[in-house]
Amino acid sequence: MNKYDDLLKSKMSAESFAKLAALNNDEVMEFVGYAAELCEPDSIFVGDDSGADVAYCRQLAIDNKEETPLSIDGHTVHYDGYFDQARKKEVTKYLVPKEETLDDKLNQIDRGDGIAELESFQRGAYKGRQMLVRFFCLGPVNSEFGIPCLQITDSAYVIHSEDLLYRRGYKAFSNLEKGGEFFKFRHATGEVDERGTSKNYEKNRVFMDYTRNTVFSVNTQYAGNTVGLKKLSLRLAIRKADREGWLAEHMFIMRCNGPNNRKTYLCGAFPSACGKTSTAMIPGENIVGDDLAYFRVIDGEFRAVNVESGIFGIITDVNSKDDPVIWNLLNSPGEVVFGNVLVKDGKPYWIGMGEEIPKDGVNYCGKWQEGMLGPDGKPTTQSHKNARYTVQIDKLENKDPEWDKSEGHQVGGIIYGGRDSDISVPVREAYSWEHGVCTMGAMLESETTAATIGQEGVRKWNVMSNMDFLSMSVGRYLQNNLDFAKDIERPNVFGTNYFLKKDGEYLNGKLDKSVWIKWMELRIHGEADAIDSGCGLIPKYEDLKRLFKEVLDEDYTEKNYVEQFTTNIPELLAKLDRIEKIYSDIDDTPETMRNEMREQKERLEELRALKGDYVSPFSL
């Protein structure tokens, strides 16, 4: 008998207790029991994988007014508080035991102090509410990739979101060996205002106890802080992968369709606003996942799975012309949760949707009208710039039919996509796995835009597009990538940049990435030649000319080629200087990284001595 049995039986139905007890898992019972004792719910609901339990949670989100139905059947809208619209880095911290230290670049707090502060906010937080206990799985259930997860919350919206975004996991817990590892999440909405949104945003906390595979959050409703299986679990998974010899990455997975019905799988890491979603959703190709991937060596192959089963996507600028698949899904009956958009007469509106937007309605501010200032005195917009949609992968017209394959997909190529206006060519291939990881992944930069930041051209370093989610030192994470799958055939590595400019105009068309992807696919299979540019291999003109005609029915000129694929040596060397300075301050920088940077500089300086500062691809 567990010490919490009497308490749990007093709070839940016999059916709920039976579901919990049937798992025969002391750690599960302890976690649920302690949450009940600490948070003091009026009642507790335990759900399994049944459609009835999933439907109960969805309806509860509506009954509790966390979601409001819209005019299209199955569509709802959820609002977060005005000051609770994104992940909050300053309150997202690792709980670190006194005897341990983490990289000083990581936000952290003493474990004892953090637990005490967090529990002071969560104590009694479920009074007057129902505590929800649900089970999910990161990655395919009952596969080598799968990680069972236990979620406790008082928010039906959180559970509904996870039902769309993740695979059901009660069965995974049923099959879990005694003492088997799983991730745990405990969230509390906290006190709410008259709109039902978390009121005490200044007491918002998101703490990760990596010693117990646990995430806690309180006084917040925004999914990035409360849907623990999202980026919060990525931090736990990176440490688990470090212990076990695999990789957890912030990458999409897509299928490129090559000649003679050939299927080639590509994974890509792109910082925000660098083309990640649009690459994963290229017309004519197929999506497996848009955000997170686990890599393992299985049967001697480099394989990947989509960690998730849905998309929690930014809706700003989604329109019928550029995003037809998502647009159709967002305008058809079926489960969709909109977040922080403008609603009028039961219809959602958002910035950049390509339609006239009403000048009033309800949005993240409450009742809204054009020109209104927010509670912070700042101008407001029709929808929040970080407004979201939540849908299931399985509902996408362009999904890979095998997106949920339990053994994953063999990866043919890895892409690191940055954003700069004057340095990198649109696509290049690394000389080797080490060259790609070091000079494309570890040197990844994203250039800010005046529209979003107020100062154009600020370059932000973001190693593998995973900097915000690292739970160990940069050097150790980089070494893990270098060491992964040492003795097998590893994917080709590519770098992309869709944002090269001349005289203020972009040199790439929005759909040009379709051609770059096709070229990568051919290179992976040895069916296209390449030219050495001093910092990687670039396409030959005749191949691009043919591909532009075949893929986009466009004429690709020699002028296009020279403008896009000239090697910009001064800018490339300046970037190397910037990145070398960063890594000189990282004590555990791998020697391979230092060697690759040095060799890259030597190649570029040698090329400059022969050809000058700016080298046409026709001169190589």
CA end-to-end span of the chain: 75
Query: Over the stretch 388-424, which tens digit does the pLDDT of each residue have?
Result: 999 999 999 999 999 999 999 999 999 999 999 999 9
Other CB atoms within a 10 A radius of the CB of residue 180 amount to 12
Query: What letters, b where the CB count within 10 A reaches 16 and e where it falls short, cover 431-467?
Result: bebbbbbbbbbbbbbbbbbeeeeeeeeebebbbbbbb
Residue reference for tokens 């990161």? 138
Structural domain includes residue 73? no
Indicate if 498 and 369 belong to the same structural domain.
no
pLDDT at 458: 83
Structural domain includes residue 72? no
Q: Which of 332, 364, 395 is the last residue of a domain?
A: 395
Amino acid identity, residue 445? Answer: E
CA–CA separation, 287 and 393 (whole Å): 8
Query: Over the stretch 370-397, which tens digit does the pLDDT of each residue have?
Result: 999 999 999 999 999 999 999 999 999 9
Indicate if 420 and 339 belong to the same structural domain.
no
Indicate if 214 and 303 belong to the same structural domain.
no
Nearest to 272 by CA among 403, 162, 385: 385
Question: Model confidence at 103, in pLDDT bands (50, 70, 90)?
Answer: confident
Amino acid identity, residue 397? Answer: E
Structural domain includes residue 76? no
Structural domain includes residue 533? yes
Structural domain includes residue 40? yes
Residue 107 has pLDDT above 50, yes or no: yes
Residue 619 has pLDDT above 60, yes or no: yes
pLDDT at 456: 58
Burial (0-12, 13-18, 19+ Cβ within 10 Å), 154:
buried
Mean pLDDT of the 264-280 span: 93
Indicate if 262 and 234 belong to the same structural domain.
no
Q: Which of 222, 244, 266 is the last residue of a domain?
A: 244
Nearest to 82 by CA among 337, 386, 303: 386
Residue reference for tokens 């003795």? 487
Nearest to 370 by CA among 344, 404, 400, 395: 344
In Å, how far are 146, 257, 288, 391, 491 from 161, measured between CA atoms?
Answer: 19, 31, 19, 9, 33
Contact 369, 359 (CB under 8 A): yes
Handedness of CA 473, 477, 478, 482 (dihedral sign): positive
List beta partners, residue 244: none
Mean pLDDT of the 54-72 span: 97
| Domains in the chain, number | 3
Lowest model confidence (mean pLDDT) among 169-173, 273-277, 359-363, 475-479? 273-277
Indicate if 16 and 154 belong to the same structural domain.
yes
Domain ranges, residue 172: 5-66+83-244
Indicate if 232 and 285 belong to the same structural domain.
no
Residue 453 has pLDDT above 50, yes or no: no
pLDDT at 487: 87
CA–CA separation, 543 and 459 (whole Å): 32
Amino acid identity, residue 253? Answer: I
- We report the CATH number of the domain holding residue 462 as 3.90.228.20
Indicate if 230 and 252 belong to the same structural domain.
no
Question: Model confidence at 353, in pLDDT bands (50, 70, 90)?
Answer: very high
pLDDT at 273: 81
Query: Over the stretch 544-558, which tens digit does the pLDDT of each residue have?
Result: 999 999 999 999 999
Measure the CA angle with vertex 125, ends 122 and 131; round to 5°. Answer: 105
Query: Over the stretch 114-160, which tens digit does the pLDDT of each residue have?
Result: 999 999 999 999 999 999 999 999 999 989 999 999 999 999 999 99
Three-class DSSP category at 44: strand
Residue 83 has pLDDT above 70, yes or no: yes
Query: Over the stretch 245-270, which tens digit does the pLDDT of each residue have?
Result: 999 999 999 999 999 999 999 999 99
pLDDT at 452: 44
Amino acid identity, residue 46? Answer: V
Fill in the DSSP letter of residue 488.
Answer: S
Structural domain includes residue 513? yes
Structural domain includes residue 338? yes
Three-class DSSP category at 34: helix
CA–CA separation, 205 and 89 (whole Å): 10
Fill in the DSSP letter of residue 157.
Answer: H
pLDDT at 449: 55
CA–CA separation, 128 and 39 (whole Å): 10
Mean pLDDT of the 180-190 span: 97
Indicate if 232 and 277 belong to the same structural domain.
no
Indicate if 471 and 327 belong to the same structural domain.
no
CA–CA separation, 602 and 580 (whole Å): 14
Indicate if 233 and 256 belong to the same structural domain.
no
Q: Which pTM does this prediction carry?
A: 0.95
Residue 450 has pLDDT above 60, yes or no: no
CA–CA separation, 174 and 170 (whole Å): 6
Nearest to 250 by CA among 207, 208, 307, 288: 307
Within 299-369, residue ranges assigned H as helices are 324-330
Mean pLDDT of the 86-94 span: 90
Q: Which of 370, 395, 420 is the last residue of a domain?
A: 395
Mean pLDDT of the 65-84 span: 96
Q: Tokens in use for 63? A: 């009954």
Q: Which residues contact 84 (CB under 8 A, 6 or more apart)?
A: 197, 198, 201, 204, 220, 221, 222, 225
Q: Tokens in use for 169? A: 């996991």
Q: Which residue numbers are catalytic?
A: 274
Q: What is the mean pLDDT of the chain?
A: 95
- We report the CATH number of the domain holding residue 177 as 3.40.449.10
Structural domain includes residue 452? yes
Indicate if 533 and 446 belong to the same structural domain.
yes
Indicate if 211 and 237 belong to the same structural domain.
yes
In Å, how far are 224, 231, 255, 269, 471 from 467, measured between CA atoms?
Answer: 16, 12, 26, 11, 9
